[in-house]
Structure formats: structure tokens, C-alpha cells
Amino acid sequence: NAGVTQTPKFQVLKTGQSMTLQCAQDMNHEYMSWYRQDPGMGLRLIHYSVGAGITDQGEVPNGYNVSRSTTEDFPLRLLSAAPSQTSVYFCASSYDKQNYGYTFGSGTRLTVV
């Protein structure tokens, strides 16, 4: 099915470990973004991309890296996990954010112990 695919769905990390959250879309969308959502709260923008090879920081970028080598893939890397990074992470993509909004993946629930 077409859409945004995130892996893994669940992950437990120890403090200081690194990992990569994968995100892929097959809709040929130029715009992609990563968000984190803490319990009972809205979504906060971590990093975003407006096309292959172009990335920029969002509202809460510290502790995270991204790259966009292809239109389809937009991985998020946690450099050295901290308990404060325990959250649900959503990847999203858009063809034209102004008129069509974003399509979201099903999320990755990350716990850092």
C-alpha cells in the first residue's frame, strides 16, 4: 500500500546508545518531516527536508541528525540517546503542504532507559 512506512514500531535503548529510525515514502513527495510527540501533547518538529539533499532544523533538533540522499528515504539518527528522548516519533511527507497537508507514518515508540 502506498504511504509512509516507519520502522521499527517499538524500540528500547539504553542511555548513550545510538540508533536510526527509518522512514520511507513511495508517493514521490518532496517534503518530509520528523516530529516527536510526548504524552498528551501536540507534535514538535525535529528536522525537515524540502527535497533530496536538502535538510534543515525544526523546533527541537538537538540530539538528532537527518540526511536525505533520495526522495524516498528520510532516516532520523539519535546520536547518544537520553531519557528525555523517550517519545513517539512520527515521520510525514507531503506533495504540496499548502493544499494537501501531510501524510503520516504509524509512528515509532521509543523508550530510553
Partner 1 sequence: TQLLEQSPQFLSIQEGENLTVYCNSSSVFSSLQWYRQEPGEGPVLLVTVVTGGEVKKLKRLTFQFGDARKDSSLHITAAQPGDTGLYLCAGAPSGTYKYIFGTGTRLKVLA
When binding is defined by CB under 8 A, the residue of 46, 76, 92, 110 that contacts partner 1 is 92
Q: Which of 25, 81, 102, 112 binds partner 1 (CB under 8 A)?
A: 102
Please state, in angstroms and rounded to a whole number, the distance separating the CA atoms of residues 40 and 47: 21
Q: Which is nearer to partner 1, 14 or 41 (CB)?
A: 41
Report the C-alpha gap between 100 and 77 in whole angstroms.
Answer: 27
* Shortest CB 89 distance to partner 1, Å: 11
The Cα–Cα gap between 28 and 9 comes to: 23
CB atoms within 10 A of CB 31: 17
95: contact with partner 1 by CB under 8 A: no
- Residue 97 found at the interface with partner 1 (CB under 8 A): yes
Q: How far is CA 67 from the centre of its chain?
A: 11
> Would you tell me which residues interact with partner 1 (CB under 8 A)?
31, 33, 35, 40-45, 48, 50, 56, 58-59, 90, 92, 94, 97-107
